[in-house]
Structure 1
């Protein structure tokens, strides 16, 4: 039996993370950041993006889709780092978010490389 492909595990994890961002943003923000209305809304929008990306990845796990997802995650990480640099109240949650986005990007890039290999 072959092990579960990395893209599949990553996609399922991303579904769970996206759902968490949509359903419980205040809980995350109370622990890691400042639960302003803007921050809650932002996490919910990010949750929707994660759900959409997971759906596309799970439906069509080809290298181009995986690489595009990795690029989106790198952009996400960069914007989170920019937020951490300018908003002291959101610094902890922004740095955590940047680390998570970097992790998703790494997983997707590795999966894209594996899908290219014979």
Structure 2
């Protein structure tokens, strides 16, 4: 991997309590078609990019969920490829989503009580 890519990742700042997404695909960078990636922090942005609502992305090849420890119930952040995003509830003040990974794990966008 070229050094400039490594330096870019050293500058990413993630909120410890918030989930994020890494969207990979093909798009334009400085007017040239090539691999493209974007870090976003909300489901609506992922949906916009996947539905070709972003002129910098021609196609999305993979979306990763970057889950915080409260979401994945582990002591670290995980980055897993997503298979599906489901709207679980839109009745409340904020929408609640379920994120299904390629491995079949399902996470929710709001903290759940810990199992006893």
Pick the TM interval, shorter chain.
Answer: under 0.3
Bigger proportion of residues as helix: 1
Bigger proportion of residues as strand: 2
RCO higher in structure (CA 8 A, sep ≥6): 1
TM score, norm. by length of structure 1: 0.26
TM score, norm. by length of structure 2: 0.26
